[in-house]
Amino acid sequence: MSASVHIRGGRVLCPAQGIDRSTDVFVGDGRILALGEPPEGFHAGRTLDARGLLVLPGLVDLGTNLREPGARHKADIVSELRAAAASGITTVCASPATRPAVDNTAVLELVQGQAHKAGASRLVPLGALTAGLDGEHLSQMAALKRAGCVAVSDGGQPVANTLVLRRALEYAATHDLPVMVTPQDPDLTRGSSMHEGWMATRLGIAGIPVAAETVALARTLALVEETGARVHFMRLSSTRGAELVARARRDGLPVSADVAMHQLFLTEMDASGYSTTANVLPPLRGERDRAALRQAVADGVIQAVCSDHQPHDADAKAVPFVAAEPGVSGLDTLLALALRLEDEGALPLLTAVERVTSGPAALLGLPGGTLRPGAPADICLVDPRAPWWVTPEALFSRGRNTPFGGWELTGRVRHTLVDGTPVYPEETAPA
């Protein structure tokens, strides 16, 4: 059991409660006890001076790849959960796309065991939608759910066979599991990782059309209409994609969507000069897409912004563009970029925080993402004015593949608590 904590004098932002004011937070037994006045008989085992800092619910990240088991040369659960803690992310939804995939309880237990060892941020496991993510056989969803999976996911490997997808949605709905789907038509995507546009034409690289996203969305939406399954679309990339999701939500379909944070800041132009850090899937698209995605986040068509964390070893990116493995190392920059969305006038601060805390938590029914009394004391204290230069070496993640190298961001995490226990900085707490 963790000691009681008094967080004093910070600017407390809790979108779930609509709170943005300077106040104190009281924590005990691993939970939020109260905001404002201490509960009766409260005795602070520890006081954190939060004057000049933002006090936020710990961030909830829907899209992370921790690489373990199967690719520990890139990263591992312990390293990445600690990086998450240092980045203010207290809940990490781990992709089932490991080797072997999280499609049975044995792998799930291994993952959970490693997460426990990390003593850092909490890991929320996502189960594989199909066995081995093969797109052909159903995974043991009921067993996965009993063992702690909150949703099933295609892990970035879309199910090509429409009949299998339909059955998977039906089966998941039977067990009341949300299904996380990557809207990407495999035939229109294969062999490329650049938007089909001007930059791809210039660089002589095969392009991925926007239709790769819209075709897949339309197909899945048709199946949602028939099955009533609760579907979450992962990583939108285009104006048209966001429009399709908006329309489906207006029509009352039980669908939601997220976007990778880098999609709100980068475009196809960032791949100029064959920069492999800009090799991502779905690809970085045009300036208009970027603006439309920001608008969709502001409007709530997109309810969550995630890191889409895909740490890589140096070799995976030290190759010509087309041979590089896609993905960015996104944990370290998630929070500072969320704050930057407000700086750039894209979103009010409370909305920006909402999309990385209570927004994603609500989608999967997770208890975190809020400072409501009774909730787990997952809290992040940020200095919103502290500047830092993004360099690959400065990242806490083992993955150095950031496309934001050379950017100056503001917002550094000072303290992270999970269940009321300090997980960052790693310290021997004063008595």
Active-site residues: which are they? 308
Query: Which of 319, 374, 394, 408: binder of other proteins (CB under 8 A)?
Result: 319
**Sequence-separated (6 or more) residues with CB below 8 Å from residue 336:** 388, 409, 410, 411, 412
391 binds other proteins (CB under 8 A): no
Q: Does 203 bind other proteins (CB under 8 A)?
A: yes
Q: Which is nearer to other proteins, 41 or 406 (by Cβ)?
A: 406
Out of 22, 161, 174, 201, the only residue in the binding site for other proteins (CB under 8 A) is 201
Q: Give yes or no for a contact between 360 and 386, defined as CB atoms under 8 angstroms apart.
A: no
Q: Of 67-75, 266-274, 341-349, 366-374, which segment contacts other proteins by CB under 8 A?
A: 266-274
Listed residue (424, 422, 349, 339) closest to 387, CA to CA: 339
Residue 73 makes contact with other proteins by CB under 8 A: no
Interacting stretch for other proteins, rule CB under 8 A, among 131-139, 155-163, 318-326, 413-421?
A: 318-326
SS3 per-residue string spanning 213-254: HHHHHHHHHHHHHHHCCCEEECCCCCHHHHHHHHHHHHCCCC
Q: How far is CA 232 from CA 40, 93, 142, 241, 254, in A?
A: 42, 14, 19, 13, 8
Task: Please pick, from the candidates 206, 222, 394, 429, the single residue that binds other proteins as defined by CB under 8 A.
Answer: 206
- Cα separation, 417 vs 157, in Å, equals 33
| Rounded Cα–Cα distance for residues 141 and 132 (Å) | 13
What are the strands of the beta sheet with 122-125, ordered from one edge? 59-64, 89-94, 122-125
Residue 121 · residue 423 · CB < 8 Å: yes
Comparison of 154 and 268: residue with beta carbon closer to other proteins: 268
Based on the shown chain and the rule CB under 8 A, indicate whether residue 196 belongs to the binding site for other proteins: yes
* Shortest distance in whole angstroms from residue 199 CB to other proteins: 9
Structure tokens at 410: 């503001």
Binding flags for other proteins, 276-315, as an x/- string (CB under 8 A): ---------------------------------------x
Q: Report the DSSP pairing between strands 255-260 and 231-233.
A: parallel
User: Which tokens sit at 386?
Assistant: 């502290």
**CA 356/CA 190 separation, integer angstroms:** 31
Cβ at position 323, least distance to other proteins in Å: 6
Tell me the site size for other proteins, rule CB under 8 A: 23
Q: Between 323 and 352, how does the x/- string for binding to other proteins read (CB under 8 A)?
A: x-----------------------------
Per CB under 8 A, does 274 bind other proteins?
Answer: yes
269 binds other proteins (CB under 8 A): no
Query: Which of 375, 292, 338 is closest to 57 using CA atoms?
Result: 375
Stretch that binds other proteins, among 92-100, 200-208, 255-263, 417-425 (CB under 8 A): 200-208
Q: Taking CB under 8 A as the rule, does residue 406 contact other proteins?
A: no
* Measured distance CA(290)–CA(287) in Å, rounded: 5
Q: Is 42 in the site for other proteins (CB under 8 A)?
A: no
Rule CB under 8 A: say whether 272 interacts with other proteins.
Answer: yes
Cβ proximity to other proteins: between 117 and 190 the closer is 190
Q: What does the radius of gyration of the chain's CA atoms come to, in whole angstroms? A: 21
CB of 400 to other proteins, least distance (A): 15
Site of interaction with other proteins (CB under 8 A): 196-198, 200-207, 209, 272-275, 315, 318-323
